[in-house]
A and B are shown apart, each in its own frame.
Chain A
Amino acid sequence: MPVSLNYIFKRVLLSILVVIGVIVFSYILLLYTPGDPAVKWAGNPRGPEARKAIEIARRELGLDQPIHVQIAQFIYHVFTGNLGLSIAYKVPVSQVITSGFTATLELLIFTYLLAVPLGLWLGIYSALRRGSRFDSFIQSLSVVLASTPTFWLGAIIALISYSTTGFLPYGRVSYKLATSTGFNPITGFYLLDALIQGNYAVFLDALLRIIPPALAISVYPIGVVARVSRTLVAEALLEDYVRSAVAWGVRRNTIIKHFVLKSIIPPVIQISGLAFVYSIVDAMVVESLVFGREGLGSILLDSLHKADFRVTIALAIYLTIFYISVNTIVDIIQASIDPRVKI
């Protein structure tokens, strides 16, 4: 069913307003965090000329302008992607955060490529065998796994991996292996890069290191997708057209393939999209603290420790923008499928 342009327009407008609201909100929060950004930008100056240096820094940062001008400039910078130099490392902010974004995104995409089909399969299978032992096992398992802290699960997986194989899944790729085989990450998605370059040794190594954290993160999407698809399939099986198809003696597999699967794929995609954004923070906690991978989590904590306010705020805002964009797209997809739903 085509969705009205009017709805899309309204939804996108709302999203843009929300993004601007978030930027304003974070900028104001930032102004109230202790410590003068100008002092940090000037490099904690000492001595008789320190005051002058801070004044210069204040001008360089635009902090001498009235607040609404500052915010307007800031919004402009966010959308042009030019947030200046990182205070701690004196290199462009984009350089600091890009690699973290791609690392986390790679992990998440990998997780979802495994988790969504698996969850779908589990959901359909248990719906077809409602009340069976398999079904109730999956049901209980999903409740338990949904209650498990992801970072703890990650630790358990690492421990199991280590105690059974002696291999600690650490970092993104073996450093020596990457250098000795001349691995050159272009896109920042190591798995993809290794495949493109035909560097299978690096590919396998990166794969081995991505699987344990992916397992830990995948628990949540698998659970969500299984749960949702189970309900949807069960509902679909009760629909009149499916019932009459059954009555006419159409084979079960054909029914599932032609009627059921078609009707549940769109909502499953939608729910996966929602789950995806929730998983980002899961990934942030697990990747750096448990598996020592570079990513958004490590950059965020580091920018906090170094008081690199530009990196912190850039991360916060781009994360939010990413989140809102996914949400908006999901909402529009949903509206085009079922215009009644508003929540």
Chain B
Amino acid sequence: MPPSLPFIRLVHRNLRKYRFKIGLSITIAILVLSLVSQYIAPYPREGLGYVPVGEESRRLLPPSPQYLFGTDTLGRDLFSRVIMASRSAIIQAFSVVFLSLIIGLIVGVLAAYFKGLVELVLNYLTELFMAIPSIVIALFFRLTLEAGFHVVIISLVTTWWAWYARITYVYAKGVVELDYVVLAKLSGLSPAKIIMRHVVGVIIQPILVQAISDLGSALLEASGINFMGLGLPPGYPDWGVILYEGISEMGIIAFTRAPWLVFYPGLFILLTTLGFTLLADPLREDLDPRLRRRWKLWF
């Protein structure tokens, strides 16, 4: 039975922890960057994928004061591209986790609350979607839809919601059999009210913490899909796409010819993921040290 202290207090209590502080600062920094990057980027148009209009070629220039991270195969300023990509990272990580959480929560609670056939069917569906690799879903959606955020988000959500459905189900199962829920049922309270007040209200906190710790995994997975060229369109400011474009022209030669093309976008993925992880780990340990993390799940 998870302790039911409010989320704010949980955060507050952890503020003293060193790891938590680092995680929080990285996360806030990336969030702020995603909001202001298009105003502070030296070449915002190039960040959006336009190529420079100058006379001489700026192709593959190494990092310099003028181009902090160097330039890419089309002469675009890599610094602008990389910092503007923080927005796409935030959008993908948060929308995948948030949407999965909502769907998973609903399915999990319903399965736990209404027993019998509903439970059976919902649990089967959960099991089914947990078994499909997200990359396969991405393939199919890439075939059906045009490139864009929706491909990444839909293909990740299709498989991720099942994970939340499963943990919600396990927690909710423990709650619905408790006396006060049974009493509430007997007193004639509507199921919607019972579910919202007595079930979701109680179990939401550990699941929320779980969701925060999954933001990093979501980003890694989304970047993987974009890196394979299955998600966002070429030229879009996104770290996975920038990495993909960096190596698609020359392959492995890119690492030696222009290592900055590969280095910087990867570093930003690493930093952002690290931020989410450091933020969530202390919370999770505090709440329930035995809670299992969705280790960088690909499937």
| Contact present between A and B (CB < 8 A) | yes
Q: Which A residues are within 8 Å of any B CB, using their own CB? A: 14, 17-19, 21-22, 25-26, 29-30, 32-34, 143-144, 146-153, 155-156, 158-159, 162-163, 168, 170, 220, 224, 275, 277-282, 284-285, 289-292, 297, 300-301, 304, 312, 315-316, 319-320, 323-324, 327, 342-343
Separation of A170 and B251 alpha carbons in the complex (Å): 11
Contact B252 A320 (CB under 8 A): no
Q: A316 — which chain B residues lie within 8 A by C-beta?
A: 133, 136, 139-140
Contact B299 A149 (CB under 8 A): no
Most chain B CB neighbours (cut-off 10 Å) among A147, A153, A300: A147
Task: Confirm or deny: B131 has a beta carbon within 8 angstroms of a beta carbon on chain A.
Answer: yes
Contact B266 A323 (CB under 8 A): no
Contact A159 B255 (CB under 8 A): yes
Q: Given A151-B227, A291-B252, is A25 in contact with B128 using a C-beta cutoff of 8 Å?
A: yes
Q: B75 — which chain A residues lie within 8 A by C-beta?
A: none
A319 and chain B: residue at smallest CB distance:
B133
Contact B228 A285 (CB under 8 A): yes
Separation of A17 and B127 alpha carbons in the complex (Å): 10
Q: B166 — which chain A residues lie within 8 A by C-beta?
A: 343
Q: B135 — which chain A residues lie within 8 A by C-beta?
A: 281, 284, 300
Task: Confirm or deny: B105 has a beta carbon within 8 angstroms of a beta carbon on chain A.
Answer: no
Contact B247 A285 (CB under 8 A): no
Q: A152 — which chain B residues lie within 8 A by C-beta?
A: 243, 262, 265-266, 269-270
B298 smallest CB distance to A (angstroms): 4
Contact A312 B256 (CB under 8 A): no
Picked from B136, B270, B297, the residue with its CB within 8 Å of the CB of A148 is B270
Contact B269 A149 (CB under 8 A): yes
Interface residues on B, range: 35 or more
Contact A281 B298 (CB under 8 A): yes
A232 smallest CB distance to B (angstroms): 12
B19 and chain A: residue at smallest CB distance:
A143
Contact A29 B255 (CB under 8 A): no
Q: Given A18-B127, A25-B132, is A220 in contact with B140 using a C-beta cutoff of 8 Å?
A: no
Q: A342 — which chain B residues lie within 8 A by C-beta?
A: 170
Separation of A241 and B266 alpha carbons in the complex (Å): 48
Picked from A34, A170, A278, A315, the residue with its CB within 8 Å of the CB of B297 is A278
A22 smallest CB distance to B (angstroms): 6
CB-contacts of B263-278 with A (<8 A)? 263, 265-266, 269-270, 273-274, 277-278
Q: Given A143-B278, A146-B277, A147-B274, is A34 in contact with B144 using a C-beta cutoff of 8 Å?
A: yes
Question: Can you list 9 A-B pairs, Cβ within 8 angstroms, ordered by A?
Answer: A22-B128, A25-B128, A32-B144, A144-B270, A147-B277, A159-B259, A162-B256, A285-B227, A316-B140
Q: A25 — which chain B residues lie within 8 A by C-beta?
A: 128, 132
Separation of A144 and B274 alpha carbons in the complex (Å): 6
Q: A324 — which chain B residues lie within 8 A by C-beta?
A: 131
Task: Confirm or deny: B124 has a beta carbon within 8 angstroms of a beta carbon on chain A.
Answer: yes
